[in-house]
Structure 1
Amino acid sequence: MTAQERVERAAASALKVFPLPSAVLFPHTVIPLHIFEPRYRAMVKDALATDRVVALAQLEDGWEGKYEGRPPMQSIMCAGVIVWDEEVEEGRYNILLQGVSRIRMVTELTTDKAYREVQALSLPDLPYQGPEEERLRQAVFELAGRVPPTFAENLLPVTARAAGGKLADVVASAISPEAERRQQLLAELDVKRRLEAVLEDVGELIARLQPVRPLGPLN
């Protein structure tokens, strides 16, 4: 069973959700997480014993002061698969969560579990080809001359191979640190508009940075 099929199966029944206001996961990217709250330690333990599928979600505005309960979650999330795990002291976990697909929450389930579960629809990107792709690749190439070499060396090969919505997602994940902006890009389901939005963000970043070294051709 593919990762996409696992996500779709979990979404149709009971998808485990980790609301984390400080982090937004994109499809095709990986995020490291340290799990220490008892309810989410239980969630990870159950996920590891079953399909390893977990969704990362943002909370609606006004969640402060209500986090220990069940404050409303934003409907667009990213579901992923735990690709690496390590249990550490006191039953805590370090995990790597690999994003697989956007999902739209349909309803939150009422269960006796400490953590939250939803039913949802998977929202895989439709195929797309357009001039925005090459413009974004060239912008990333220009950006690479203005950032530390290790950052550029990681980003350039991925950008060269990715296309369509995946291209927008991997670049957004690399250059957009603010959770609010990342959630806006995650919630943009139109691939063309997402590429344009990420291109705008890269352009703004380029404008703030000075070139640090010459680069060869992007290939």
Structure 2
Amino acid sequence: MTTVQERVAQAADSLKVFPLPSAVLFPHSAIPLHIFEPRYRDLIRDALEGDKVMALAQLEPGWESRYGARPLMQPLMCAGLIVWHDELPDGRYNILLQGVCRARLLSELPPDRLYREARVELLPDPTYHGPEEEQLRQAVFELVGRVPPSFSEGLVPAVARANGGALADVVAAAIIPEPERRQALLAELDVRQRLQEVTDEVGELIARLQPLRPAGPLN
């Protein structure tokens, strides 16, 4: 049986790409998307009829005036797999895209379709074990004590399971909303550095939060 990683690898020479300035996908995380533009409806339809593989990419600064055309894409993107979809009666889609692997843009394919395709180099994380993992876990556990359970209930088991670069990615996906910062961490290929930076992000978030008040009287 073909694994998810093998399916993504087989798509690397003609990877379907959805440039979306408002969203950055990380490996080991999922993101819901609403697809309404005709060209990207075509992308989703073709992906669902094939391997279900596609990538989410950011655009280079200055894209706003050329969004309807083909503005330059940033070179680091995330390839993923459509793990759930709902086709609406008017042809729009709701999908859930699961991140699989970082990918570096090598070249964009000729515009034979309405949507964009690219040849990419996949960039799986090397195996890494170091003290930065435990430092990040401890920071997350401290954060969990300051946020509502609804925020942390999925994060704690994910942090307990993940190691190395995957650990940094699942935490970044959960706590960092800004696309620019998410893209910078997506583009950080040094696993040790990424772990350190995400730990710093958790620390900054903790500093902005007040501890949750215990229930009942304090005296």
Query: In structure 1, what is the equivalent of residue 79 of structure 2?
Result: 79
Q: What do the CA deviations read for 1:114-172 (whole angstroms, capped 9, x no partner)? A: 00000001000000000000000000000011111111111111111111000000000
Any conservation in 2 of the 1:145–1:213 contact (CA below 8 Å)? no
Any conservation in 2 of the 1:79–1:101 contact (CA below 8 Å)? yes
One-letter amino acid of the structure 2 residue matched with residue 8 of structure 1: A
Q: Which structure 2 residue ranges, 5 or more long, are not aligned?
A: 215-219
Specify whether residues 164 and 213 from structure 1 end up closer, same or farther in structure 2 by C-alpha distance, changes over 3 A only: farther
Query: In structure 1, what is the equivalent of residue 67 of structure 2?
Result: 67
- List structure 1 runs of 4+ shifted beyond 2 angstroms: none
Q: How does 1:1-219 map to 2 (within 5 A)?
A: 1-11=2-12, 13-212=13-212
Q: CA deviation at 1:112?
A: 1.7
Partner-residue secondary structure (3-state), 2:110: coil
Give the Cα separation in 2 of the matches to 1:211 and 1:155. Answer: 18
Give the Cα separation in 1 of the matches to 2:86 and 2:194. Answer: 34
- TM-score normalised per structure 1: 0.96
User: How many pairs align?
Assistant: 213
Give the Cα separation in 1 of the matches to 2:32 and 2:187. Answer: 21
Give the Cα separation in 2 of the matches to 1:169 and 1:122. Answer: 16
Partner-residue secondary structure (3-state), 2:65: coil
Give the Cα separation in 2 of the matches to 1:35 and 1:64. Answer: 19
Give the Cα separation in 1 of the matches to 2:204 and 2:184. Answer: 17
Q: CA deviation at 1:111?
A: 3.0
Give the Cα separation in 2 of the matches to 1:151 and 1:161. Answer: 18
Q: Which structure 1 residue ranges, 5 or more long, are not aligned?
A: 215-219
Q: CA deviation at 1:213?
A: 5.3
CA RMSD of aligned residues (A): 0.8
Give the Cα separation in 1 of the matches to 2:124 and 2:213. Answer: 38
Report sequence identity in percent.
68
- TM-score normalised per structure 2: 0.96
One-letter amino acid of the structure 2 residue matched with residue 5 of structure 1: E
Q: CA deviation at 1:89?
A: 2.7
